[in-house]
Amino acid sequence: MFGYSMAEIGNIVVMQGFSGLSMFTVLLLMALGLAIIFGQMGVINMAHGEFMTIGAYTTVLISKVAATYGFTNYYFVFAIAIAFVLAFAVGYFIEFIMIRHLYKRPLDTLLATWGLSLVMQQIFRSSFGAKEVSAELPEWMLGSFQPTPDIDIPINGVFVMVLAALVTFGVYMFMFKSRWGLRVRATVQNRTMAGAVGINTAKVDRVTFALGCGIAGIAGAAFTTIASTGPTTGTLYIVDSFMVVVFGGAASIVGTIASAFGIAQAQSVLQFFMTSSMGKVSTLLVIVSILMMKPEGLFASKLRK
């Protein structure tokens, strides 16, 4: 078939399947934090990518510390935890000084958070330098896992996959099984009533926003294994993140998952059969046409307007 043996084609199908899944988990990790902030709170956070960059730089710094003190093999656990805490803290602070004053003006948050993203980029540039840096990866995370000699499964891909699964599970538990999640959902559905029954909606907002930022921090830490870390790294992810969330239906976390899966698979398959840029263009065209017919996205929220 096309001059390739069946075995070769089989191997490619396996690896291609994996690369589709891998792209899915990357998109999912990118979009989860935004799904919470944009989906649940309606805040268009243009600085989402910069919160990822916080996570990425945290990882780079911790990898340097790890190299000095010789715990390179398992520093990633700390890096992810600290990335989350830092991004959460910054998000908490930003909500307090900026976002909460703009809840009634959604378009202004767009402008304000875009400005914030520029400010953050310049802070990164001034403090870490303009050049890109890399986190030194532990030995076990380099290279690939080979079930057969001709199949390579990238270990960093598996790592991102596992992490995305854990974070998604965590978000699910938080939103649907915890007291806090209940309050968040109540606030989203009916702010006035939620307030009336004694929920501190301002606090809920702050924690929700910070949580979304924290998850972005985790994503940023994870992406140091597959891509670059520089002051403007965040801008590489912001468009894809919004695309996933909007396409999935803003208020639905299940929608975000489905949309990340759909986009990743379409793009990965199309890019294999067409050239890379044409694959991306075709995916975008499909998304645009579906959104024209279904402007609320794949999974519309069943909220009463």
Partner 1 sequence: MSTLNRRGFIKGAMLGAMMAAGLVTGHAFAADYPTAKVNTTGLAVTDTTVKVGILHSATGTMAISETGSIQAEKLAIEQINAMGGILGRKIEVVQEDGASDWPTFAEKAKKLLEKDKVASVMGCWTSASRKAALPVFEKDNGLLFYPTFYEGLEQSKNVFYTGQEATQQILAGLDWIAKEKKAKTFYLIGSDYIWPRTSMKIARKHIEQHLGGKVVGEEYIALGDTQFGSVINKIKLKKPDVIYAAVVGGSNVAWFKQLNAAGLNSSKQTMLTISVTEDEVLGIGGENLAGFYSAMKYFQSQDNDSNKKFVEAFKKRWGKDAVIGDVTQAAYLGPWLYKAAVERAGSFDVDKVQAALPGYEFKDAPEGPVTVEANHHLTTKLRIGQWGKDGQAKVVYTSGYIKPDPFPKGYQ
Query: Judged by CB under 8 A, does residue 286 bind partner 1?
Result: no
Using the 8-state DSSP alphabet, how is residue 37 labeled?
I
- The residue type of 61 is L
- The residue type of 250 is A
Contact 214, 33 (CB under 8 A): yes
Cα separation, 5 vs 227, whole angstroms: 33
Give the C-alpha distances (Å, rounded to integers) separating 290 from 107, 262, 296.
24, 12, 10
* Token pair belonging to 35: 């799904």
Residues 125-164: x/- map of binding to partner 1 (CB under 8 A)? x---xxxxxx-xx----xxx-x-----x-xxxx-------
Query: Judged by CB under 8 A, does residue 8 bind partner 1?
Result: yes
Cα separation, 185 vs 61, whole angstroms: 36
* Minimal distance, residue 243 CB to partner 1, in Å: 13
* Minimal distance, residue 240 CB to partner 1, in Å: 9
Provide CB contacts within 8 A for 176, sequence distance 6+. 185
Of the two residues 235 and 301, which places its CB atom closer to partner 1 in the complex?
235
Of the two residues 185 and 280, which places its CB atom closer to partner 1 in the complex?
280
* Window 200 to 259, contacts with partner 1 (CB under 8 A): 223, 225-233, 235-237
* Minimal distance, residue 196 CB to partner 1, in Å: 46
* Minimal distance, residue 290 CB to partner 1, in Å: 21
Residues in contact with partner 1 by the rule CB under 8 A: 4, 8, 11-12, 15-16, 18-20, 22-23, 26, 122, 125, 129-134, 136-137, 142-144, 146, 152, 154-157, 223, 225-233, 235-237, 267-269, 271-272, 275-277, 279-280
